[in-house]
A and B are shown apart, each in its own frame.
Chain A
Amino acid sequence: MTVGIHEYLCLGALLFVCGVVCMASKRNAIGVLIGVELVLNGANVNLVAFARYNPIFEVEGWIFALMVIVLAAGEAAVALAIVLNFYNNHMTVDVDTAEELKG
Chain B
Amino acid sequence: MEAFLFYLIAGVTGLCAIATVVTQNIVRSATWLLFTLAGVSAIFFLLGADVVGATQLMVYVGGTLVLVVFGVMLTAQGPFITMKTSSAEWAVSATVGLILLAVLAMGIFTLGPTRLSRPDVPSPSAADKDNHPRLAQIREGLAKKALAEEKLISETKQTANLNSQPGSAPASAVIGEALLGVPAGPPHIEGVGATARPVRATYLLPFEIVSVHLLVVLIGAAYLARAKRRRGASS
Contacts and interface: CB of A to CB of B under 8 A. Distances in A.
Answer yes or no: do A and B interact. yes
Interface of A: 1-11, 13-22, 24-31, 33-35, 37-38, 41, 44-45, 48-49, 51-56, 58-63, 65-67, 69-78, 80-85, 87-89, 92-94
A81 B222 contact: yes
B194 interface: no
Interface in B1-31: 2-3, 6-7, 10, 13-14, 17-18, 20-21, 26, 29-30
Contacts of A27: 83-85
A84 B75 contact: yes
B100 A17 contact: yes
Contacts of B174: 59
9 contacts: A10-B105, A14-B14, A20-B100, A22-B20, A38-B36, A55-B186, A58-B169, A63-B178, A85-B224
Interface residues of B, number: 89
B104 A34 contact: no
Contacts, number: 257
B89 A25 contact: yes
Contact of A4 (B17, B21, B26, B113): B113
Contacts of B228: 85, 88
Dominant secondary structure at the B interface? helix
Nearest to A75: B217
Pairs of residues from A and B, 9 with the lowest C-beta to C-beta distance, nearest first: A59-B185, A74-B217, A81-B224, A81-B225, A21-B97, A13-B104, A18-B17, A24-B93, A81-B221
A77 B166 contact: no
Contact of B164 (A8, A15, A55, A59): A55
B171 interface: yes
B99 to A, nearest CB: 9
